[in-house]
Amino acid sequence: MKISTIKELLQAEVVCCEEGLQHHVYSACGSDMMSDVLAYVKDQAVLLTGLVNPQVIRTAEMMDMVCVVFVRSKKPSEEMIKLAEASGMTLLTTDKRMYDACGILYANGLIGKKVRHV
């Protein structure tokens, strides 16, 4: 799924790194607990979260993720945007809640754990 499709499905706004919308991603995860993301996530390219602090961007960076979607209309701070821009990470924000946002993406083919080969 293209990140631009994620943006459309979640009626999200692009916060930064719009050029990343052309990237294809094959899996995603949703969590507000960064320790769990660091422990259990593997090869997921997109993080959906309601947590807003710079460690969200650093965690995503450590996991080689290319996009973070902030749910519940959360807005990243200037510092977070700068960190994301420095590593070319696309940030989106949607007014959908975590459960709905994950469900919409999953139902449209963006799966969780395994990488889907297309």
Partner 1 sequence: MSEKLNFHFDVDGTDFTSAGQASVQVKKNLRRLGIAPETIRRVSIAMYEGEINMVIHAGGGEADVNVSEDEIEIILTDHGPGIADVEQAMQEGFSTATDSIRSLGFGAGMGLPNMKRYTDDMKIETVVGSGTTITMRISLM
Residue placing its CB nearer to partner 1 in the complex, 35 or 107: 35
Smallest gap from residue 34 Cβ to partner 1 (A): 4
User: Under the criterion CB under 8 A, does residue 98 sit at the interface with partner 1?
Assistant: no
And the tokens for 70? 């902030």
Q: What residue type is assigned to position 102 of the chain? A: C
User: Which residues from 22-41 bind partner 1, rule CB under 8 A?
Assistant: 32-36, 38-39
Q: How far is CA 26 from CA 23, 54, 65, 68, in A?
A: 10, 25, 11, 14
Q: How far is CA 90 from CA 39, 114, 117, 118, in A?
A: 23, 22, 23, 23
User: Which residues from 46-75 bind partner 1, rule CB under 8 A?
Assistant: 51, 53-56, 58-59, 61-64
DSSP 32: S
Residue placing its CB nearer to partner 1 in the complex, 18 or 79: 79
Smallest gap from residue 39 Cβ to partner 1 (A): 5
Please say whether the beta carbons of 45 and 26 come within 8 A.
yes
- In the complex, which residues of this chain contact partner 1 (CB under 8 A)? 32-36, 38-39, 51, 53-56, 58-59, 61-64, 79
